[in-house]
Amino acid sequence: MLLNALFIGDLLNEVAYHIRPYEVVPGSTNAAFAECLEICQKELSSKNFAEIKGGWLSRTIGKRLPLSGPDDLAKILDQLRSSNTFLKAMRDCKDLLNEKVEVDYSRAKPIVKVTGEFWAQTTEGDGNFKMFTFLEGEGAQVLVEPVATWIGYMLHGATSHFRDCGGLAPNETPARWWNLFGKLKQSWKYRTKLLTFKIADHILNREYRRLQEALGGTAHLLVDQKILQHLGEPYYHKHAEGGEGYLEVAKNIYYAQSNLCHMVLSLKPFGCMPSTQSDGAQAAVVSHYPDMIFLPVETSGEGDINAYSRSQMALGEAKVKCKAEFAEVLGRTGYKLDQIQKYTAEHRELRRPIQHIPHQKGVVGTGANFVLHVASLMRAAGIPS
């Protein structure tokens, strides 16, 4: 139940930040999302996993698995095989947003990916200077980080640590070469738990993907932790714990390399040692990726003006990059912006907030990708440039 609530919150949060900078009627997104929250709260409160009891078979198998209770296996199976009322809630939210919110995606908005210390990057309030609201007010599209990434990181870290230790407990020693039964027992225990980790990771990503697809596929899927670990390894060791570990460095590289943002903003409390360590590693990252715009910001009681000023300077560079990209893409299509907007005005589906906009290789901005998408539709319709 808790994971379902977290995943739903992550997806709704990301979609809200995706839509709001492009809404035609100010405030319509927030109003629609208030209704979406009511829909999801109703579905969450109506589902009671405590009532799910396993039969003798699931209880017998569950006792032999590293689960906390005998009915946990039955609850997992119910989650996997049921139609999942939460999927219906996500579809209802998608339909509600498409009905009540109208957008104009033909605007050039720089995308700012927010990373950093867990609390500062996932909450919006005085603790992070209400930075998300500030960035939107400055004309940016904010790409927020889902809590599910942190869950995946902890699971991946536990799997990696277990594998490196060979499945042995801190005070446990490998069975002697002559103790065949002991070796078989340790091997069985190791492989069984490793399989459990793999199944848990698969379920985590599967359930997130199901909800993401039900909400229209606008939000991003979870990034494979093995990819992030590989990207961060040259700069940050995978076992260097504390804070977000290798995630800050890895996400900076991943989102820049994958053309998913124009700028990365790292938020952290003043004096946060793990994030300070990550910032030190980021100096090497930025030197190897000169086109990357990366800004670390520490939050402190008296530093809001300084933080806003520094963010505006970095955002100014991101805006220049975004506008240049938009102009280049528009010129590539052969159409003028007023032609794109006229075609969009004539087709309601292109003004819906939840729609599939193909992400073109090398193109970052939502507006630039939208222009390419509409241009392809206009060419297919035989409209001359």
Q: Residues 6 or more apart from 110 whose CB is under 8 A from it?
A: 139, 140, 141, 262, 263, 315, 318, 319, 321, 322, 365
pLDDT band for 62, please (50, 70, 90 cuts). Answer: low
Q: 152, 204 in Cβ contact below 8 A?
A: yes
* DSSP3 helix / strand / coil % (the chain, rounded to 5): 60, 5, 30
The residue whose two tokens read 């893409």 is 329
pLDDT digits (tens, 9 = 90+) for 330-358: 999 999 999 999 999 999 999 999 999 99
Taking the C-alpha atoms of residue 313 and residue 156, their distance in angstroms, rounded to an integer, is: 36
Taking the C-alpha atoms of residue 260 and residue 18, their distance in angstroms, rounded to an integer, is: 13
| pLDDT at residue 75 in the model | 65
Amino acid at 15: V
Token pair for residue 381?
A: 């319709």
179-204 burial, b at 16+ Cβ within 10 Å, e below that, comes to eeeeeeebeeebeebeeebeebbeeb
Taking the C-alpha atoms of residue 369 and residue 371, their distance in angstroms, rounded to an integer, is: 5
Token pair for residue 131?
A: 């930075």
For residue 116, the SS3 value is strand
The residue whose two tokens read 């339909």 is 95
β-strand 111-116 against 141-143: which pairing, if any? parallel
pLDDT band for 269, please (50, 70, 90 cuts). Answer: confident
| pLDDT at residue 2 in the model | 77
> Taking residues 248-266, what's their average pLDDT?
93
| pLDDT at residue 44 in the model | 81
Measured between alpha carbons, how far is residue 235 from residues 82, 244, 373 in Å?
43, 14, 37
Taking the C-alpha atoms of residue 112 and residue 264, their distance in angstroms, rounded to an integer, is: 6
269-285 burial, b at 16+ Cβ within 10 Å, e below that, comes to eeebebbebbbebbeeb
| Mean pLDDT lowest among 87-101, 168-182, 284-298, 308-322 | 168-182
pLDDT digits (tens, 9 = 90+) for 72-129: 666 666 666 665 678 889 999 999 999 999 999 999 999 999 998 888 888 888 888 8
| pLDDT at residue 311 in the model | 93
| pLDDT at residue 68 in the model | 62
> Between these two residues, 90 and 245, which has the higher pLDDT value?
90
The region that residue 293 occupies, defined by phi over 0 for left and psi between -120 and 50 for alpha, beta otherwise, is beta
The residue whose two tokens read 């942190």 is 150
> Between these two residues, 128 and 8, which has the higher pLDDT value?
8
Percent of the chain scoring above 70 in pLDDT: 89
pLDDT digits (tens, 9 = 90+) for 45-57: 877 666 566 665 5
Percent of the chain scoring above 90 in pLDDT: 55
Burial status of residue 119 (CB atoms within 10 A of its CB: 0-12, 13-18, 19 or more): middle
